[in-house]
Amino acid sequence: MCAAMTIEAAVADTSTKTVAFGGKTYQIQALSDDSYTVLLAGIPVGRVVYSFGAANGVPEGDAISEDDLYAIAESWFAAVDA
């Protein structure tokens, strides 16, 4: 029997410009309407971009995975469009 896999949802808060994910709170800083820098404790860890109808995450270094940035991007752009 294998253990059930749980997937944590990223939770965006546009009023504080943050996304909570994986037990951490990331700050979101606008670069343009569809491009944002993601910071952890004031240090840039990646960018999230909405282009051609899809959210994408691009890590800067190895502080965060592309999959985690994708989850943050999906949550952020869904909240911004709400």
What is the value of pTM for the model shown? 0.88
Domain count, the chain: 1
Residue-wise pLDDT tens digits, 4-36: 545 678 999 999 999 999 999 999 999 998 999
Q: Look at residue 17 and tell me if it is in a domain.
A: yes
Q: Look at residue 5 and tell me if it is in a domain.
A: no
Q: Look at residue 47 and tell me if it is in a domain.
A: yes
d(CA 40, CA 60): 12
Q: Look at residue 2 and tell me if it is in a domain.
A: no
Range of the domain at 69: 11-81
Residue 44 phi, psi dihedral angles, 5° rounding: -65, 130
- pLDDT higher than 80, residue 71: yes
Q: Look at residue 54 and tell me if it is in a domain.
A: yes
Q: Look at residue 6 and tell me if it is in a domain.
A: no
d(CA 46, CA 13): 18
d(CA 57, CA 38): 9
Residue type for position 59: P
